[in-house]
Amino acid sequence: MTGPRRRRYRYRGRSRYGSVWRNPAPARFRRESLTERVLILLVVAVVLGITIGLILPRVNGGVGRLTGRYTATGDAAQTLQSLTVDDHSRPGRQYRRESFGFKETDEDGNGCNVREDVLTRDLTDLRTTTPGGCKVASGRLQDPYTGRTIEFVRGPKTSSAVQIDHVVALENAWRSGASKWDTARRYRFGNDPYNLLAVDGPANQAKGSASADYWLPENKDYQCSYVARQIAVKDKYSLSITSSEKQAMLAVLHTCPGQPLPQDR
């Protein structure tokens, strides 16, 4: 007769209390652990690859160019390529918003300042304070920057809900060449409806004087139109752009092949 089979143990080494032995894991358990580890590594590799593919072109301009992120077609893209790139602009004088005379001209001669003209153009369900008058009392704005609908009501505490934005900000224009203009040209720029939009007040405040490489509308459906209008305005007034600004614009236009320029009206 043979005695009971001895169970085999694997030596783990010594501890402070003497030799330590352990029971080896079953082969099935070891195989399942190995399979799980391989699957986890594969999932991590896939996630890492996707993350790098999405983020790296945005961080590294060279990689973005290789992947085609900065290629675009259409009138807006072609006009962008014709703009002067200047990364070292040094305005001779300090920027002052008053230099552009916003609301101080009446180009169309209708007796209304440009804010009222833009509100009249961009709002629906419009009511004026007097029949046939200039001042807008109320209306509804489908805001391009946020995509939300804003009910505008004129008043000391409510008028700021809708503001008039210079699509190419005045300070940006100043740095891009307007500091060298005469007063008449700056006034034309500051009151040109082509560069003005009625928009959500807080969104306008958040934008400030930022260019496209620092700020874009949160409404992604409007970003291509926004960039196209900036390009058109800069082309109209022979304003320059920076390399970073151009790259940001191309990245947006890449998402909308054939993007046209807005009509000047």
Residues 161 and 210 in one domain: yes
pLDDT at position 83 is 98
151-185: buried (b, 16+ CB within 10 Å) or exposed (e) per residue?
A: ebebeeeeeebbbbbbbbbbbbbbbbbbbebeeee
pLDDT digits 0-9 by tens, 101-132: 999 998 888 899 999 999 999 999 999 999 98
Residues 65 and 109 in one domain: no
Q: Is residue 170 part of a domain?
A: yes
- Range(s) of the domain holding residue 40: 36-70
pTM exceeding the 0.85 threshold for the entire prediction: no
Q: Is residue 259 part of a domain?
A: no
pLDDT at position 21 is 47
DSSP, res 97: G
To which H or E segment does residue 190 belong?
helix 183-190
Residues 155 and 58 in one domain: no
Q: Is residue 169 part of a domain?
A: yes
Which among 244, 203, 202 is positioned nearest to 223, based on CA atoms?
Answer: 203
| The two structure tokens encoding residue 47 | 């996630």
How big is the chain by its Cα radius of gyration, in Å?
Answer: 31
Which among 220, 245, 216 is positioned nearest to 231, based on CA atoms?
Answer: 245
Q: Is residue 61 part of a domain?
A: yes
Q: Locate tokens 């920027």: which residue?
A: 95
Residues 140 and 227 in one domain: yes
Is residue 12's pLDDT more than 90? Answer: no
Residues 158 and 130 in one domain: yes
Q: Which of 8-12, 50-54, 74-78, 204-208 has the lowest mean pLDDT?
A: 8-12
Number of independent structural domains in the chain: 2
Q: Is residue 91 part of a domain?
A: yes
pLDDT at position 116 is 96
pLDDT at position 161 is 98
Q: What is the DSSP string of 221-243?
A: GGHHHHHHHHHHHHHHTT--B-H
Residues 91 and 220 in one domain: yes
Q: pLDDT band for position 92 (50/70/90)?
A: confident
